[in-house]
A and B are shown apart, each in its own frame.
Chain A
Amino acid sequence: MAYEKPLPRVTADTKPFWEGSKEHQLRFQKCRSCGHVRWPASVICPKCYSDQPDWIVSSGKGKVYSFVVHHRTFDKAFEQELPYVAALVELEEGPIFLSSIVDLRPEEVKINMPVEVTWKDITQEFSIPKFKPLS
């Protein structure tokens, strides 16, 4: 069945991120000048304005920074999953990344809960990172 949920919108900034995801690597930009690891991806480092980033591969481990339990949705493709959890995950390397929490009931999700990335291959072109409780 065709994948009906929104697909990532790949930009020049996020292309390396989604290419990494395809290989099940969670990649972030790390500033070559000051070492700041950033998300969202951007042309310059917001700390020092250097335009020289390296793309590093995150451990994929982090903790729940905050979360929302969705009891309704604006996109019918998500309806069968209601209620579902969207969460901000603070990765070990520093970035805070919006994703989904899976393998847990919504009432079991807590702030600061340790989580790790798990990959979902959604189309030929895209794999998306979701997060599950740290094993």
Chain B
Amino acid sequence: MDLKDLKDKYAIAGIGYTPQGVVPGRTALSFYIEACANAIKDAGLKSDDIDGLICYRTFPGLLGEDEVTTYLLAEHLGISPTTLSQEANCCRGQLLHAMCWLELGLCKHVLIVYADNAATSGRLDVGHTAADNGVFGHFGYKSRYAMAARRAMHLYGTGPHVWREIAVGQRQWANLNPIAIKYNEPLTYEDYDNSAYTEEPFRIEDLFIPTDGGRACIVTSLERAHNLRNPPAVIMGTGQGNPSRDYTCMEQPTGAKLSGKIALEMASIKLEDIDACEIYDCFTSTVDSTLKDYGFYGPGEALDWFKGGTITPGGRMPVNTSGGLLYEAYYMGLGPLTEAAMQLMGRCGERQLGPKTNTKQPEIILCSDNGGLYQTCATTILRRL
């Protein structure tokens, strides 16, 4: 048994969306429920078909809300899965775990979901601190990524001159996506340069915006997916990289490097075979570090690689075609993964890769998912059937 034996054996067969952005009055749980129900319907399945449920982490309940647990969600969905899982702190392995359950025969259809009412609850805007960082006024995950970004500037000659290419490029994609929170809000280089510093070197345009909403997908065997409603997005490869080091030790490579290598090997393809990327982008610099560690460019080569609209509509390597977590909505790794699947299913409307956006017809899309401070990363490669 080898990871390569799982190549092309499983697929994403359904995707669940919800209203998103700022949707006042709703609980996180309500978005979980709606995203799951919509994914089940989208796949053409019934609730009884769902025998595995995986929740990305949930953040602590606010406003007297229920804590979102897998069993509470199962109750509201009227399902009794064979097995349940919910991680606590953003380790990334949800898709691989789903595939393992399927491979073992424990499950036939696994539902993976993330949701929150982060925009209206302010849940993610609190200054969670690591150890005694608060003593020194260094609060929250943004501060930690900003620290890594500054180190990357020193080590790799990157910085705001590179990150604005990511911001402007992704915003162009968001402007082709009517459900993106930044739809109809164009961004120029000048806008980026003039945006306020927050945790410098980060500016406001480098940061994702906490969202109300949810996203879910159904993972099943390719064999079963053939009989379902959508053309499946086939999982060619997936890999993990968890360089579990002290959080203060931010010398790269990130987990993207190892996870990318494993996923490409499993898929038996090379980086040159990738038509587009959906990269986990809590911050612009995360896209930069991740693409570098995949090997799209070397240290010091970032600006040359990005400039001229490489990642934009019409570009030779489209990146984050929904607008990404930065400008579409924030769903952890399910943002990149579901966008890749939707593109490969040909369901993306104005932002559809191919002739409509003057880009390559997408056959193979690479997705990343990153947690901690680059300490846990999953890479997944999907292909069109």
Q: Which positions 1-45 of chain A face chain B at CB distance < 8 Å?
A: 5-9, 14, 39-40
A128 to B134 Cα, complex, angstroms: 12
Question: CB < 8 Å: which of B131, B132, B134, B154 contacts A66?
Answer: B154
The residues in B between 364 and 383 inclusive whose CB is less than 8 angstroms from any CB of A are none
User: Using a CB-CB cutoff of 8 Å, which residues 64-80 of chain A contact chain B?
Assistant: 65-75, 78
Residues of B within 8 A of A117 (CB): none
Interface residues on A, range: 35 or more
Which residues from B are CB-within-8-Å of A100? 136-137
Q: Is the CB of A66 within 8 A of B250?
A: yes
Asked whether B301 is an interface residue with its Cβ less than 8 Å from the other chain, the reply is: no
A73 CB to nearest chain B CB (Å)? 6
Q: In angstroms, how far is the closest chain A Cβ from the Cβ of B333? A: 25
> Which residues of chain A (60-100) have a CB below 8 Å from chain B?
65-75, 78, 81, 83-84, 86, 88, 96-100
Residue of A nearest to B202 (CB): A68
> By the criterion CB–CB under 8 Å, are A68 and B150 in contact?
yes
Instruction: For B154, list chain A residues within 8 Å (CB).
Output: 66, 111-112
Residues from chain B with a CB closer than 8 A to the CB of A84 are 137
User: Which of A66, A72, A75, A130 lies in contact with B147, CB distance below 8 A?
Assistant: A66
**B274: shortest Cβ distance to chain A, in Å?**
31
Cα A5 to Cα B135 in complex, Å, equals 7
Tell me the complex Cα distance, A112–B151, Å.
10
Does chain A have a CB within 8 A of B75? no
Is B197 in contact with A86, judged by CB distance below 8 angstroms?
Answer: no
Interchain CB contact under 8 A, A68 and B138: yes
B248-264 Cβ-contact flags toward A at 8 Å (1 or 0): 11100000000000000
Q: Which residues of A contact B198 (CB under 8 A)?
A: 71-72
Question: Chain A residues with Cβ under 8 A from B199's Cβ?
Answer: 68-72
A-B contact pairs, 28 of them (CB 8 A): A5-B134, A6-B129, A9-B131, A9-B132, A14-B132, A40-B246, A46-B246, A68-B138, A68-B199, A69-B197, A69-B201, A71-B196, A71-B197, A72-B198, A72-B199, A75-B134, A83-B197, A86-B136, A86-B137, A86-B143, A88-B147, A96-B248, A97-B248, A106-B200, A111-B151, A112-B154, A128-B136, A130-B136
Distance in angstroms between the alpha carbons of A86 and B197 in the assembled complex: 15
